[in-house]
Structures are given as structure tokens and as C-alpha cells.
Amino acid sequence: MTTTLTIPDLIRKKRDGAEHTRAELEQLVLGYTRGDVPDYQVSAWLMAVYLRGMTPQETADLTLVMAASGDQMDLAGLPRTVDKHSTGGVGDKTSLILTPMLAALGLTVAKMSGRGLAHTGGTIDKLESFPGWSPDLPEERFLAQARDLGLALIGQTKDLAPADGKLYALRDVTATVDCLPLIASSIMSKKLASGAHTVVLDVKVGAGAFMRTLEDGQALARAMVDIGTRAGRQVRAVLTDMDTPLGHMAGNSLEVQEAIRTLRGEGPEDLTELCVALAVEALVAHGEDEAAAEARARAALQDGSALAKFRAFVAAQGGDASLVDHPERLDVAPDRADVVAPASGFVGRLDALAVGRAVLALGGGRERKGEAIDHGVGVEVLKKPGEAVAAGEPVLRLFHRGGRGLDAARALLEGGLSVTGTAPQPQPLLLGRVN
């Protein structure tokens, strides 16, 4: 829809701190998506949004306009649909565990997932550690698999919320990424276009996350829950710590191995507890009692039902499912090197950003979209913050291939590790909830 205002009028309006109408946002955003409004005008507008912010109504309107800028998935024929999103972290293999858990618990997960970018990992890259597994399913097969198995996962397509694809790329080069209404609308436009009734959000807070402080994380969580509610969806968010990596493994195949251990009920406590907490949010959103939901979620990890779903899901999308029962056969880089404690004491800081960047340096992530990655490299956290260590004892193990990136990765990890004389205060993993 076109208003009587020109594009410079709209830029001026935001520059001066006024509120856009939905029609104005359509004119700007849909015009940009079609190619009718040039990058330079949208760049100026993005900077005005960055500096002036947006009201909750404006943010919700922007999200709806972006969600409607391309195809929208129709999941109406599927029962009890749920989607999950993490704002990105290091060692965050939660989706690999949570999605088969939810399917085993009777919900339907028909989900679009992303690849890793910069220091954060992505679910699609992790799953591609299974030779043959593919995120490219035609829509009909995707929907049929979701109906039959309760779980189907596709990669990001350019047809879903294309406005976000274009705007995100422009934000990336105009210093307008770290802007709350733009992040919230970007994430939620894809969630709304993906069609699930319920969305569970894991908003990461800390050194390895987009949101460095709890206040910023809370504001982002509130904004996203508000957008979803205005759009008639059930959205629940948890805020979780990302100062230090989740679980022990960072790197694609290593994370898949740890996810399988967790699906067998033998996972690290932090990862297991997060998966249970997110499953409870999803079940409660679908009307279940909280205590009963928690018992069911724990049981799915103990009785093999979530693992069985995962095996069937890997096979359904072309992966070698025998590796689910023999994860030791996944391709893990053969060479090892350790980072040791510089003194005796307790592990203090173990910086998630440093670990994520070390995985990147070893070749396990990409700096630019489309780069090939080495699924086998990564970092194992042998000692978590708060654990006692002796001088010279290994704290971190690097899995590398022939020394590629090893010096840089080691330097990053040494810089991200501190050993203290007294045990640090334990950091809770779950920092809050927004419903």
C-alpha cells in the first residue's frame, strides 16, 4: 500500500522520532523487498530506527509486514505445532535434543533452522555431520514428514520472510544489527511466517550472546513475546546464561555426539536441565500442567522415546541413522591439543565467545555465508567454571586437523580462561522467564 508520503518523508518522520503506521511500513519494507526503494534510503531509515527506536505497536506492525513479504507456511492441518528459537550461542545443541523430545511428547515440530554464522553454531550445520542428511525438503514432503513423524526440519528459504533476508544483509553493513526492535522483528517475522501455534524462545545472555546484559535480554524477550501475542500466537521465553559454553562440546560432530548422550539420559546437567525447561514451556503453552509436563519431559530422555524419534528423523531426511547408535563413528578430527591451567585453583571465567571463535579458527564455522566448514573440529570443555584444577592440568581440549588454525585457537582459549584462588559464585543457567 502507498501512503501520500514519499520515502524521504518516511525517513524524516522516523528521524524526528514519530511513529509509523502499518501502511507506511508496508510502503517502505515491501517497496524495498520488490527492489523499488534503494539501499541508500533504507540505510538512512534503519539508522533513524536505530537512534529513535520503535513503539511496541510499530515493532509488531513491522514484524507482520516482514512476515507477509513472501510465502507463509500453512501448518493449520497439523496438531499441536511448536517452534523453538535460540538467539544464538556456543555449544548450544539444544534443538537437536529438544525437537525429538517434543515430537516424542506428542507435539508437532515443523521448523525452519539456520546455519552457524560467525562464532555461533547452527542446527543445520550440526545435522549435516550425518552424511546424507539434507535440510532441502519440498514443502509437501516437509508437511507429510511433520504429520507422520512429528518432526521435520528445513533450512532457511529465501521465499519465507524475504524482507528480513534483505534487511538483515543491509543491517550487517550499516552498523544497525544490534537494535532491539530490528532484532525482535527479524526473529519473529521468520517465526510467524513459519506458522507454528506456539513458539518457545531461548534468549541467551552473556559474553557469547547478542545480548550482553540481563536487562537487554529481558527487553528483547518481552518485545518478542509482545509481538507474538499481538499476532495471536502463544509465545513463551526463557532467559539463559551464555557467559560460558552450554554442555562440554563446541563444534558440529562433537555437539551431535553430546546431544546423543543427552538423548540417552546421560548428558551434562546444564544441557539436560535447559532441554527439560524448554520442553515444559512448550507443553504448558499447549495446556499441560507444569509438574506433569516436567515428569513427561524427563521420562522422554530416560525411556529412549526421544532418541527413537531422533533416529527416525535423521533417517527420514536421508542421514545415516546407524551413527545415532554409533556416534563414535561420526567424523571427528583426529588431532588433539590441550590448553592447561596456568596455576592451581578454580576455573573462573571460561569465555563462550573465545570458545566460539576458537572453533571458527579451527575451521568449524564460517566468516561469510556459503563457506565450506569442517564438521569434525571443535573444543571440549574438560573443566567448567567452579571446578578445581591443578597447575598444568588440561582444562580445554582442541580437536584439530593437521594443526590448521591451532595457534590462533589456542591463543583465543588462553585469553578466555582464568583460574582463580577462590571458587567463583555458581552462575545459574536459567535467568528468568517471560510469558
What residue ranges bind ligand URA (CB under 6 A)?
Answer: 168, 182-183, 186-187
Report in angstroms how near the CB of residue 263 gets to ligand URA at its nearest: 26
SS3 content of the chain, % helix, strand, coil (to 5): 45, 15, 35
85 is an active site residue: yes
Nearest-angstrom CA–CA distance, 388 and 374: 32
**Shortest distance, CB of residue 311 to ligand URA, whole angstroms?**
30
Active site residue 194: no
Nearer CB in complex with ligand URA: 36/178: 178
- Nearer to ligand URA among residue 87 and residue 244 (C-beta): 87
Instruction: Check if the beta carbon of residue 115 is closer than 8 Å to that of residue 122.
Output: yes
Instruction: Give the separation between CA 153 and CA 169, rounded to whole angstroms.
Output: 24
First to last CA, the chain: 33
120/92 Cα distance (integer angstroms) = 8
Residue 164 bears catalytic tag: yes
Q: Which residue has the cell 569434525?
A: 376
Tell me the closest approach of the beta carbon of residue 394 to ligand URA, in angstroms.
Answer: 34
Cβ nearer to ligand URA, comparing 107 with 187: 187
Q: How far is the CB of 171 from ligand URA (least distance, A)?
A: 7
Q: How far is the CB of 13 from ligand URA (least distance, A)?
A: 23
Residue nearest to ligand URA (CB): 186
Q: Considering the complex, state which of residue 53 and residue 394 has its C-beta at the smaller distance from ligand URA.
A: 53
Given 95, 186, 189, 253, which residue is catalytic? 186
> Least CB distance from residue 346 to ligand URA, whole Å?
34
Q: What is the b/e burial string over 184-214, where b = at least 16 CB atoms within 10 angstroms of the residue's CB? A: bbbbbbbbbbbbbbbbbbbbbbbbbbbbeee
Q: Cα–Cα distance between 7 and 434 in angstroms, integer?
A: 36
Nearer to ligand URA, 168 or 318 (CB): 168
Residue among 20 and 85 whose Cβ is closer to ligand URA: 85
Instruction: State how far the Cα of 111 lies from the Cα of 132, in Å rounded to an integer.
Output: 19
Question: Of 13, 14, 84, 85, which residue is the catalytic one?
Answer: 85
Instruction: Determine how many CB atoms are found less than 10 A away from the CB of residue 93.
Output: 28
Catalytic residue, from 14, 84, 190, 309: name it: 190
In 156-253 the beta strands, taken as DSSP E runs, fall at 198-205, 234-241, 249-250
Catalytic residue among 61, 125, 164, 351: 164
- Quote the Cα angle for 328-333-339, to 5°: 105
* Residues involved in catalysis: 85, 164, 171, 186, 190
